[in-house]
Homo-oligomer: A and B are copies of this chain.
Amino acid sequence: MSQTSANQSFIARLIAKIRETKSAVCVGLDPRMEQLPEEILAKNRPASTAEIAAAYEHFCRLVIDVVAPLVPIVKPQAAFFEAQGPAGMLALGRVCHYAADAGLLVILDGKRNDIGSTASAYAQAYLGPGTASAWGTDALTVSPYLGEDSLSPFLGVAEAKQAGIFILVKTSNPGGGQYQDLLTPEVPLYQQVAKQVEGYAAASKGDQPYGCAGAVVGATYPEQLAELRKLMPSTWFLIPGYGSQGGTSADVAHAFDSQGLGAIVNSSRGIHFAYQKEPYASEFGEAKWQEAVEAAVKAMTKDLQENTPLGKLLTAG
């Protein structure tokens, strides 16, 4: 189904998938019991962690069935699976492999971080390509607080395995600025992290426009997003905060380069629980929740095509 090859770098595979699907949407997979459609709950009214994990897996497979032809990449959120204990992790592994088998690239949103050989162990766990990793994932989100010797092991494995990492630089949450915006002797902390990430990205890009080290930069602070795009010309951005958190296509437009590359924009609840919100609640309702997923993902793709530089890529290609 995918036109990509595991011999290509993560960025090359990502760009190929963006061209193929004409979309820069990353579909987050954040299953929550209290929001699952009745169809899922009715089949298997879940009580134990194993039953909840089975419901999450069923739900995510049905979401993947809808979005696989429409988007380049999905991003399962590890926390919701881990909350169901070991059974949840078995479900997570199956969901990731199912997505990879459907031709999707997979970022695990795990925000992992540690030092030395422990960081390498996380990297070996989650860095792909796809079905070649123990979890079926291509890329991983990584937290930077432990510093350079906690990040470089991830980079080494990402380069060796043609995989990707996305390091938290400037996050989308209201409290993200508490530490990230603190002024250090030269620049705010998040720009210190940005410099490190850009260095990794520039050193690893080879003949690609972007390196295997990416950055998580929230949609909710558009000025800082625009500034970081300039500071980080070799770094691909993963943008959370579109939709539910208030970020718009005008905000995320700053994340793309002039060719329409350089960013993927995530939405989780806004897509897979679209049936709960207008206009999809009225148009489809709970019974047609998969149609609501399809409509929401198509609307988001169109919004980005029309209101960000992504449109240029598609007309040029």
Contact = CB atoms under 8 A, between A and B. Distances in A.
Contacts of A122: 79, 82-83
Contact of A184 (B80, B117, B125, B184): B184
A85 B136 CA distance: 9
A306 interface: no
A205 interface: no
Interface in A44-96: 49, 77, 79-80, 82-86, 88-90, 92-94
Contacts of A183: 184-185
A146 to B, nearest CB: 5
Given A32-B117, A182-B184, 15 more contacts: A77-B114, A77-B121, A79-B125, A86-B86, A86-B89, A86-B92, A89-B90, A90-B90, A113-B113, A115-B173, A116-B173, A143-B145, A146-B173, A179-B193, A182-B192
**Interface size of A as a range:** 35 or more
A146 B134 CA distance: 28
A145 B147 contact: no
Nearest to A133: B85
Contacts of A49: 134
Contacts of A126: 82
B192 A118 contact: no
A177 interface: yes
A204 interface: no
